[in-house]
Chains A and B, each alone.
Chain A
């Protein structure tokens, strides 16, 4: 390959024109393109793409009506409603507290800031099963928080509230980590300009700062939502897992598998995959929209 590359410039000198490069021809002298791309595509196909396609193929064995029968049973519809509803609630809670947390981390100085900053990533690092049993123990009626809430006649575990609590734990870092860099890049001059034009601090925040954070906020909340919809480990311990009441969609896949209803499991999985695909598209759209306004 090096021989061909060095032949290029010689020809240019002789003919005085730039030789036309064939499609896909390497432009650089760096070696290893064919090998690394080949390995990447092969591994990607074997580990990710082909197995994932098994879901679609298995579900397609049901036919169109069969798919709808398996994917949208009444029990499954309840599970989707709980998964999406609790995820939305958790993402919204994280949207509110995530902004405040990111703001505190970027704008304020306080003792222990480094620790708090590191702690935000805990849900990424802590195994979901550990989070699950811990949250279940805390929020159970005899747990530390559960007992306090029980006195207020609030039941926070083994019901949809418990699901939302676990999903809040899981989603927080997505919002904070997406907002932080954008907040850091906000130029102080814009705020100064607003102030010098007579805006109060409140007006500066609501009319200048928050609107410029909106795309990142939306991305973070969508990421938290998307993660929450598929979450399993942290939820099943605190959810109670009663059909039609506190059963999340991923758990229903596991239950179908345990009953050897592979097609039913594939149908629900395909539904979830399509939702995550839509989420990905939404995130990309938000990011494209952001770039246009930067």
Chain B
């Protein structure tokens, strides 16, 4: 092939330099405007009056109690969904049974439900006018407008994260390694800890990471069931809303900056995991 023909073939399979330049400029401008600027604005607003007022806003008792509640919610919701995810993935990936595809769709369902609806369903079940409302009032048990409701709503919105990550991973790995371990006399649990767990640990970590970010940042579902009682049922995102609506912008953005840091750390860890394990991919 002559040099000119090769050059033409290369040109026809690659974008001309000016196209590249235009596309890249457009993309970078768009991403800068849509993604980067809002993040930068959070920190800029938080530090508008210097570091002092921002730190003070975070150290304030209501802010601290919202941080505690958010950490506690995540500390319950994430392990719960971790256990559920492993369980569901084991059942779905290691066995064949009718209705499997439908079951996977049902596990994914919370991702396609509006967060507000996710909160509403627990109000309808446990609220004063709800199914168990009268019984719960009689026994003085508070679920809605109390911490249990916040935890339930958080579990709902983060429900599919771990399962979604593990199911395809475990399906790909098949059952032969587990069968080998079992045939050599290992018990079911030993097989899981010694064979399955090491195989799925990165996928598991990846799912937990995304699950945790959502659990700590959830707003819509939690705001419906919380009742927004300061110092009691206020998570960090709800505290941000309250401060913002009170025109306490430095306070709102200071707490928001903490959440923003959480998001950035999540992204960094996620990218590192993807570099370590190129097969990992967020499945939303």
Contacts and interface: CB of A to CB of B under 8 A. Distances in A.
A31 B178 CA distance: 10
Nearest to A59: B124
A155 B197 CA distance: 54
Contact of B237 (A48, A52, A233): A233
Given A133-B256, A253-B120, A232 B284 contact: no
Interface in B55-72: none
A61 to B, nearest CB: 11
B124 A58 contact: yes
A280 B112 contact: yes
A152 interface: no
Contacts of A168: 34
A235 B218 CA distance: 14
A62 interface: no
Contacts of A100: 23, 26-27, 30
A196 B16 CA distance: 17
Given A39-B84, A250-B220, A195 B9 contact: yes
Interface residues of A, number: 100
A7 interface: no
A194 B244 CA distance: 56
A268 B179 CA distance: 50
Contact of A118 (B39, B105, B179, B271): B271
7 closest cross-chain pairs (CB), A and B: A230-B114, A127-B217, A195-B12, A233-B219, A232-B220, A31-B188, A51-B121
Interface in B182-223: 182-183, 188, 192, 210, 213, 216-220, 223
Interface residues of B, number: 103
A117 B259 contact: no
Given A101-B31, A127-B217, A133-B244, A30 B95 contact: yes
> Majority SS of interface residues in chain A?
helix
A43 B113 contact: no
Most chain A CB neighbours (cut-off 10 Å) among B31, B156, B244:
B31
Contacts of A50: 125
A286 to B, nearest CB: 15
Interface in A190-233: 191-192, 194-196, 199-201, 204, 223, 226, 229-233
B237 A188 contact: no
A21 B177 CA distance: 24
A145 B38 CA distance: 11
B252 interface: yes
A108 B24 contact: yes
B112 A126 contact: no
Given A30-B178, A232-B220, A122 B267 contact: yes
A116 B15 contact: no
Nearest to A101: B27
B111 to A, nearest CB: 8
Most chain B CB neighbours (cut-off 10 Å) among A199, A201, A232:
A232
Interface string A121-136: 1111111111111110
Contacts of A257: 120, 123, 224
B90 A32 contact: yes
Given A127-B219, A192-B13, A119 B31 contact: yes
A54 interface: yes
A122 B39 contact: yes
A177 B282 contact: yes
Interface in A10-40: 24, 26-33, 35-37, 39-40
Nearest to A169: B34
A80 B157 CA distance: 23
8 contacts: A36-B87, A41-B103, A126-B263, A129-B237, A138-B41, A195-B13, A196-B12, A230-B117
